[in-house]
Structure 1
């Protein structure tokens, strides 16, 4: 349960719906799934930004830029760094 008010992506409208779509387009190919209709993604990180759509858009565009395939670190190295930082910060994401 969220501690703050959020808007579920399926309830988004207008500009927020458009921005969520743009953010999803930047997801790495590893986030794809063969059977998307059978898997529910936990989008609470996205939901936490829904009350400030500009923050949602810009923070996730920054993240997608930092995780581009043409950067010197491989995706698995990026994920390892993120995992270690999250663990160090006691972050469950």
Structure 2
């Protein structure tokens, strides 16, 4: 359970818009319909600041662009290495 107040997409047009805009930047296998983003999630922990939500998660979408010189395997290797170094359990 998060300790941060969360605003659901159906409660705020700004949160809904931020989710929709950043979602278009994600690779197809990462895309979730906005309706699926509900309850408690790392994305919605940013929902008090919808513009920040957009910029934080749009950064990830942009960095995963297939037009960049790294392959998808290289992206995943970097992400896994950073998670291990940060002692991230998920």
Range into which the TM-score falls when normalised by the shorter chain: 0.7 to 0.9
Moved over 3 A (4+): 40-43
Q: Which runs of 5+ in 2 are unaligned?
A: none
RMSD between superposed Cα atoms in Å: 2.3
TM-superposed CA distance for 1:57, in Å, is 0.9
TM-score with structure 1 length normalisation? 0.77
Q: Which runs of 5+ in 1 are unaligned?
A: none
Deviations 1:18-65 (A, max 9, x none): 1111122222112258xx8xxx67871211110111111111222211
1:56 corresponds to: 53
2:29 corresponds to: 30
State how far apart, in whole Å, the 2-side matches of 1:28 and 1:54 are: 21
Partners of 2:7 and 2:15 within 8 A in 1: no
Q: How many residues align?
A: 87
TM-score with structure 2 length normalisation? 0.79
1:8 corresponds to: 8
CA 1:53–1:41 in structure 2 vs 1: closer, same or farther (change >3 Å)? closer
